[in-house]
Amino acid sequence: MIQVNDLHKSFGTVNALRGVSFVAPDGRITGLLGPNGAGKTTTLRILYTLLKPDSGTASIDRIDIIDHKLQVQKRIGALPDNQGLYPRLTARENIRYFGQLHGLRGKELEENIDRLVSLLEMKDIETRRTEGFSSGQRIKVAIARALVHNPPNILLDEPTNGLDVMSTRAMRTFIRRLRDEGKCVLFSSHVMQEVAALCDHIVILHQGLVVASGTPEELLRSTGKTNLEDAFVAAIGSEEGLLRA
């Protein structure tokens, strides 16, 4: 479970977050929806401990992310905005490296990798060096290495960016599967349809603030609209940022 309480963060004169609060429960897919620059990546970076908030608190499974950084890192699997692989290592070596950094060794590690390799259908590429992989292949490796330690909380920053239709569908299936395993899934997107298709709970961010949140039905009810797209536009007060989706 992820709890976020009144996060503030600024970079120089830019106020990236101006009081973001939400809860992402276990067994649910929570979507962070917002136009580019709304603060999605900054929120996620704070949650996976790369940035410190100026004020406010956040916790993962009730463990404070600032005071217990390493504990939190053990309990999350994150697919950040940057998903670079090591081109001179094979797909399996890339995944194994992160598993080892999590302290996994030997049989347990190899079994975890085997499970992810078959789940993500990447048997054909696992022993190839990742140099020259397609974006679909790259994201599979990036996800596998993020989840190799079987974390209960999963944070995905725009996981379907740049994927073709087939890869996007496979990704959605995979994310639902994680939810069904009882994990807490938090993912960000600026694509409305993406969030609508997948999320049990939606948090709409705009200019560093949570402007609306709830289940898709609750959002429709609170904005008085009949479809999510209109609800989204109503929530952020303009169509800005949507057109690029």
Partner 1 sequence: MSASIQRILVVFRKEVLDNLRDRRSLISAAMSTLIGPAILLLLIFILGRTVFNDVRESTIDLPFIGAENAPVLVQYLEQNGIAIVEAPENPEEAVRNGDVDIVISVPESYSEDFSAGRPATVRVIMDSSRQSALANVERVRNLLENFNGQIAALRLMARGINPVVVAPLAIERVDVATPQSQALIFLNMMPYFIVMVVFMGGMYVIIDTTAGERERSSLEPLLINPVARWELVIGKLAASWPFAIFTLFLNLMAFAIAFNAFPLEDYIGFQLSIDVAALGWIFLIALPMIFLASALQMIIATFTRSFKEAQTYVGFLPLIPALPGIGLAFLPIKSSLWAMLIPTFGQQLLINQLMRGENVILANAFISSFVTTALAIILIFAAIKLYERERVLFGTK
For 233, the 3-state DSSP assignment is: helix
> What residues have CB less than 8 Å from 204, skipping those under 6 apart?
33, 34, 210, 211, 212, 213, 219, 232, 235, 236
Q: How far is the CB of 82 from partner 1 (least distance, A)?
A: 4
Which CB atom, from 31 or from 77, has the smaller least distance to partner 1? 77
In this structure, what token pair is assigned to residue 217?
Answer: 């039905």
Rounded least distance, CB 144 to partner 1, Å? 12
Q: Quick one: 93 or 194, whose CB is closer to partner 1? A: 93
Give me the least distance between CB of 102 and partner 1, in Å please.
6
Token couple for 71? 């504990």
Q: Per residue in 177-187, is it b (16+ CB within 10 Å) or e — as a string?
A: ebbeeebbbbb
The smaller minimum CB distance to partner 1, of residues 30 and 73, is found at 73
Phi, psi of 97 (to 5 degrees): -55, -50
In terms of Cβ atoms closer than 10 Å to its own Cβ (0-12, 13-18, 19+), residue 86 is middle
Give the shortest CB-50-to-partner 1 separation in angstroms: 6
Closest CB to partner 1 among residues 18, 75? 75
Between 98 and 214, name the residue whose CB sits nearer to partner 1.
98
Instruction: Give the Å distances, CA to CA, from 184 to 52, 77, 101, 166.
Output: 22, 10, 22, 24
Which residues contact partner 1 by CB under 8 A?
48-52, 70-71, 73-74, 76, 78-89, 93, 97-98, 100-103, 142, 145-146
DSSP H helical segments within 17-59, as ranges? 40-47
